[in-house]
Amino acid sequence: MANIRIRGNSATIQVSNGFDSAGERIRPNMTIEREPGMTDKQWERHIQKTAIEFEERVKKGVYLDGNKITLAEFVDLWRTKYAQKELQPKTLFEYERHIARITKAMGHLKIGKIQPLHILEFYNNLAEQGVREDNLYRANKKFTQYLKDNNINGTMLAELTATNVKTSRKLINGENTNKEKASQVCERLDISLKDYFEVVKQAGGVLSERTIQHHHRTLSAILQKAVEWQVIYENPARRVTAPKVTEKDMRYFEEDEILRLFEILQQEHIKHQAWIYIAAYIGCRLGELGGLRWEDVNFNENLISIHQASQTLPGKGIFIKDPKNESSKRTVSASPAAMRILKEYQIWQKEQRLAMGELWVDSGFIFTKVNGEIMNPNTPTQWFLSFRRRNNLPDVNFHGLRHTNAAILIGEGVDIQTVGGRLGHAKPTTTGKVYSHFLKKPDEKASQKLEEKFNGKKEKDGGQVVN
């Protein structure tokens, strides 16, 4: 039976579990705290229930002692038993980038011994000069010779390495790239980064406030899982204030700017027109745009269904995943103008399919590469940047088309629930929080209408308000 020792509002539970190799008795223990508001009977039942569960875990060999396992060791367990099974690929990819710094700084500490001061010191170190490790790389002569020997041009290199044509041409022209892209290219071509690329600029920059905040969220999520698994009693990261982030203004096109954009857009290729029309008119995310199939389009009723998204990661390439959340699976009404452009694009794609003949890959996706394969979801972003600069349009990125969609709808008085439903938000409160500053416009319009109504009433009745 477990040995229970109660002191004030805490209870220590100890279980005897045999002997170690030195003949010493193994006595794992855990401490629990009485929650505020618990009655004596509730506290007693909680102690007994916890003691039984703790003893069972010890006897089954699934108990982990936070005072004996290091943070790095726990991260390995967290990764294999939880993260790789439950997290979205991109989420895990981003977590891994932060984990590298976390384990380097704190991995040696016993997870049960980590204090808020350890975490604060780690955040302070992240804010110092020279923490960034994003070296710049350049392809060397050996890489150039490899392309020549294998008759690989820019377009082919982009397809082989799951990058865009612009990036491939930069590599061929000897321009710099980051380690992530250089590694992706080498992995896809099965060549060595060390042999085919050279470091042209050493790291040494400062991490942004947001990046440091992401480290905090990653560390807190891992430690919270340790709490859930009862490896530690509480999460020390919750006792540390998350690093503050100076929020940047949300960039979007004003009404006159978006009208000018659509006017200039008429001179562009029909594929590019379709990208912008669909993104701006239905407010979809970039990955959702890339995940659209022709079977998702109902031309008769002007409806587009969103139920998946495309994504790309180094070492994994392009893949299809569920959208951001369940509410992101939605059917949105599109304007006749957007559907007309999409129909024209469909006709062009069919002509392209005939021209490619047997080389065409019948993927079923709306937006594809020249041979019909699914498009890299980042391609519209690169093109839109170039398009904006060529035409002196405001500095609003592709995702800003989604914000523009919301801004115009809210400005025209469309209710938050409808706007949020079209955008795929889980709750109307999410829409209200993200676009709170946009809500001022309809509020001001409402005030103006009341002013006009009441003032008009006064003038009509000689300045007297009539009930």
CA distances, 383 to each of 111, 164, 323, 379 (Å): 47, 10, 23, 6
**What does the alpha-carbon distance between residue 24 and residue 288 come to, in Å, rounded to a whole number?**
59
Instruction: Look up residue 271 and give its two tokens.
Output: 């594929």
Q: For residue 244, tell me if it sits in a domain.
A: no
- pTM of the prediction? 0.65
Q: Do 93 and 157 have their domain in common?
A: no
pLDDT for res 340: 96
Q: For residue 428, tell me if it sits in a domain.
A: no
Q: For residue 434, tell me if it sits in a domain.
A: no
CATH code (residue 224): 1.10.150.130
Instruction: Look up residue 430 and give its two tokens.
Output: 């999410």
DSSP classification of residue 266: T
Terminal-to-terminal C-alpha distance of the chain: 79
Q: For residue 120, tell me if it sits in a domain.
A: yes
Torsion-angle region of 47 (φ positive above 0: left; ψ -120 to 50: alpha; else: beta) = alpha
Which residue pairs from 58-67 have beta carbons closer than 8 angstroms and sit at least 24 positions apart in sequence? Answer: 58/15, 58/17, 58/28, 59/15, 59/17, 63/28, 63/230, 64/229, 64/231, 65/28, 65/112, 65/231, 66/110, 66/111, 66/112, 66/113, 66/226, 66/231, 66/232, 66/233, 67/110, 67/112, 67/113
Q: For residue 248, tell me if it sits in a domain.
A: no
DSSP classification of residue 83: I
DSSP classification of residue 321: E
Q: Do 38 and 116 have their domain in common?
A: no
Q: Do 212 and 176 have their domain in common?
A: no
Q: Do 197 and 211 have their domain in common?
A: no
Instruction: Look up residue 425 and give its two tokens.
Output: 């938000």
**What does the alpha-carbon distance between residue 196 and residue 54 come to, in Å, rounded to a whole number?**
54
Q: Do 192 and 222 have their domain in common?
A: no
pLDDT for res 446: 63
Q: Do 373 and 330 have their domain in common?
A: yes
Residue 5, beta-bridge partner list: 12
**What does the alpha-carbon distance between residue 123 and residue 129 come to, in Å, rounded to a whole number?**
13
pLDDT for res 460: 47
Q: For residue 249, tell me if it sits in a domain.
A: no
> Could you tell me the residue range of the domain that residue 93 belongs to?
71-131+207-239
Residue 200 — φ and ψ, nearest 5°? -110, -15
Q: For residue 228, tell me if it sits in a domain.
A: yes
CA distances, 281 to each of 133, 320, 335 (Å): 40, 23, 7
pLDDT for res 431: 79
Residue 198, beta-bridge partner list: 138
**What does the alpha-carbon distance between residue 296 and residue 288 come to, in Å, rounded to a whole number?**
11
Q: How many domains does the chain have?
A: 5
Positive or negative, the CA dihedral 403, 404, 407, 410 is negative
The list of the chain residues with pLDDT below 50 reads: 458-461, 463, 465-467
Q: Do 46 and 83 have their domain in common?
A: no
Q: For residue 275, tell me if it sits in a domain.
A: yes
Write out pLDDT tens, residues 186-243.
888 889 888 999 888 665 567 788 889 999 999 999 999 998 887 887 899 998 987 7
